[in-house]
Amino acid sequence: MTARSGLLAVATAAGWLALALAAVTSQSTPLVAVLAGLLSLASWHRHGRAVAVAVPVGCVVLLASASSVLLAAAAGVLVLVQLVLADVAADAHGARRAQLRAALSPLVPGGVAAAVVAVLVAAAALIGARAPTAVVAPAVLAGPLLVLAAVLLALGRETRRDFWRMLTPRRRLSALTRRYVERAGGRS
C-alpha cells in the first residue's frame, strides 16, 4: 500500500465513521448514510472530486433529525479529518510518508484547535439545554449566524487585503494638495 492509498483509506474510514455516528440517533433513513458513504469512495479517483462533500452533506441531513450533541461534535471533527486527508491525498501521487508528514504537520494545530472548539461548543449546548428557554432560543438563532459572519469576515479580510492596502494611500494628501499646503506654510 502506498502512502497515498493509506491516506485515502484513513480519510474514507473517518468519513464512514462520521456518517455512522450521525446516523445513531438520527430519525432519517440510514440509506442516506449508505449513499453518502458510497459517494465518498469517488475520492479514490482523480476525477471524483465533485462528490467530495457527500459525507458532510449526508451528515447534515442525518443530524437535522438527531438529538445527540456529543455525537454531532465527534462527527464534525471526523468530517474535518476526512476533508483534509482527501485534499492532501489528491496531491500526493507518488509521495513518500515523510513528505506526507511534512505536508500534514502545519495543519495539526488548526485541527486540534477545531476539535477543542467543537468540545467547548458541545459543552455550551449541553449547558444551554438546561437553561431557561427565554435565554436559549435567541442564542440558538444568533449563535450560528454570528459564527458564520465571523468566518466570512475573516475570509473577506484575507481575500481583499490588497484592496484595503490600496485604499490606505488615498487617505493621505494628494500631491497637489500637499504642494498647496507646503506653500501655505502648513503641514506637509
Partner 1 sequence: MTLGRSADPQRPRDTTVRLRWSPSRLTRRLTTAGGLAAAVAAFAARPGLLVFAAPLLTALALWVRRPRAETLQVRLDLERPQTTEGLPVDLQAHVAADGPLGSLRVAARGEPQVALADHVLVALGPVADGEWSAAPTRWGHWVVGTVIAEATSVHRGWDARAVVQAPALTVYPPATAAARVPPPPHLRARLGPHVSRTSGAGVEFTGIRPYQAGDPVRRVNWTASSKADELMLNEYAQERMGDVVVLVDSIHDLGPAGASTVDVSVRSAAVVAQSYLAVADRVGVVAFGSALRWLTPTTGSRQFYRVVETLLQARQARTYVDPSVDRIPLAALPNGALVVCFSPLLDSVAVEAVRDLRERAHPVVVVDVLTERGVDVRGDEDQLALRIWRLERAAVRRSLERIGVRVVPHAELDDGSLHWLRPGQEPAQGPVQGRPGGVGGVG
CB of 63 to partner 1, least distance (A): 5
CB of 61 to partner 1, least distance (A): 9
* Long-range CB contacts for residues 30-39, cutoff 8 Å, separation at least 24: 32/58, 32/61, 32/62, 33/58, 33/62
Q: Return the DSSP state at 158.
A: H
Q: Using CB under 8 A, which of 159, 170, 183, 188 touches partner 1?
A: 159
Q: Distance between the two ends of the chain, CA-based, in angstroms?
A: 69
CB of 177 to partner 1, least distance (A): 32
Which residues, 32 to 51, sit near partner 1 by CB under 8 A? 49
Confirm if 164 and 156 have CB atoms less than 8 A apart. Answer: no
Q: Using CB under 8 A, which of 151, 166, 167, 181 touches partner 1?
A: 151
DSSP characters over 60-125: HHHHTT---HHHHHHHHHHHHHHHHHHHHHHT-TT--HHHHHHHHGGGHHHHHHHHHHHHHHHHHH
Instruction: Report the interface residues with partner 1, using CB under 8 A.
Output: 22, 49, 52-53, 56-57, 59-60, 63-64, 66-69, 71-73, 75-77, 79-80, 83-84, 87-88, 90-95, 99-100, 102-103, 106-107, 109-111, 113-115, 117-118, 121-122, 125, 128-129, 137, 140-141, 143-145, 147-148, 150-151, 154-155, 158-159, 161
